[in-house]
Chains A and B, each alone.
Chain A
Amino acid sequence: MKNLKEISTRLESAKKNINKREKINKSSNAASLGKALKISTELVAAVVVGTTIGFLLDNWFGTKPLLTICFFIMGVAAGILNVFRSAKRMHKKL
């Protein structure tokens, strides 16, 4: 009986150690570099998509520069929104 208790206390302390190590690893693993790489494209992609939509709509309605400019600005806003969101997600995880 005494042996079993000893084992359980040792197991618990070992588990605590594992948790501690995981917490340390979480902040410094290679995944953080991946997160850094992903933000830059997110900003650019939204601007490109917004401008493309504006350009296509312009060709469709025949209102040449107007909608392209409007959708370009909205694309910038969407890009900033994207970056803001992924930054918030990162913050939540830390």
Chain B
Amino acid sequence: MALNPMHQFEVYKIGPEINLGKINLSFTNASLFMTISAMLILILLFFGTKKKSLIPSKIQLVTEMSYTFVAKMINDTAGTSAKSFFPFIFTLFMFILFCNMVGMMPYSFTVTSHIIVTFILAAFIFVGVTVVGFVKHGIKYLELFVPKGVPIVLLPLIVIIEIISYLSRPVSLSVRLFANMMAGHTMLKVFGGFVISLGLIGGWLPLSFSVALTGLEILVAFLQAYVFAILTCIYLNDALNLHH
């Protein structure tokens, strides 16, 4: 069990089984770690904004930095018209970041290493961005699929390619986060298994690799949350400003 690198991804239920019709709604370890991440964000923001002093304490500094980081990201990629989407992007970024970071703790569970979690996040973004585009531009939003200056003969082909490109957004968004998290955690566990099987004499090399990989994984955990949020901003920019 300790040597199986895929064992960490197992989902099991905690407490009683809850069935709603045919849907299994039991509380699992995945739901537990999502709740933990959400609670950690709430705690950070609560204590970070409690005492608003001019010279910030460390926790207030972290909160303010995360605010300015996301605000600057939205401003740079989607422009000022996307300012009203700040709460959404901020929630998304913080949730993914905390899920990834909580997953870096030993004995914890990485929620984002399951494709269903990341795909649902990406699918909601995809639907939301499409709805925003149609609300803002009406039927003119379909112009996104018709690039300017294309000869009419080529137009049917180009439109299909553009539609495939548009539909591939949620897939690439979700697969990127899922694959990076799963590959990284599997690799960590594989090297951890080498330490045990090689024993006291040969185990030092994989142990040092393991330490280095942990550092890399923390970087990847942050980067993937950042990339997820920034791509959401880019898609929002396409929907709001209607150009590529």
Contacts and interface: CB of A to CB of B under 8 A. Distances in A.
Given A34-B227, A38-B231, A89-B234, A53 B164 contact: yes
A35 B168 CA distance: 17
Interface of B: 157, 160-162, 164-165, 167-169, 171-172, 175-176, 179-180, 219, 222-224, 226-227, 230-231, 234, 244
Interface of chain B, helix or strand or loop or mixed?
A: helix
A42 B164 contact: no
Interface size class of A (residues with CB under 8 A): 20 to 34
Given A37-B180, A45-B172, A49-B171, A30 B223 contact: yes
Contacts of B224: 34, 37
Given A46-B172, A49-B171, A74 B231 contact: no
Contacts, number: 73
Given A31-B226, A74-B157, A81-B165, A48 B180 contact: no
A78 B226 contact: no
A41 B172 contact: yes
A48 B226 contact: no
Contacts of A45: 168-169, 171-172, 175
Interface string A53-72: 10000000000000000010
A41 B165 contact: no
A79 B168 contact: yes
A19 to B, nearest CB: 14
17 contacts: A30-B219, A34-B223, A35-B227, A37-B180, A37-B223, A38-B172, A38-B176, A38-B231, A45-B175, A46-B165, A48-B171, A49-B167, A74-B160, A74-B161, A75-B164, A78-B161, A82-B172
B221 to A, nearest CB: 12
Given A45-B175, A49-B167, A77 B227 contact: no
A85 B157 contact: no
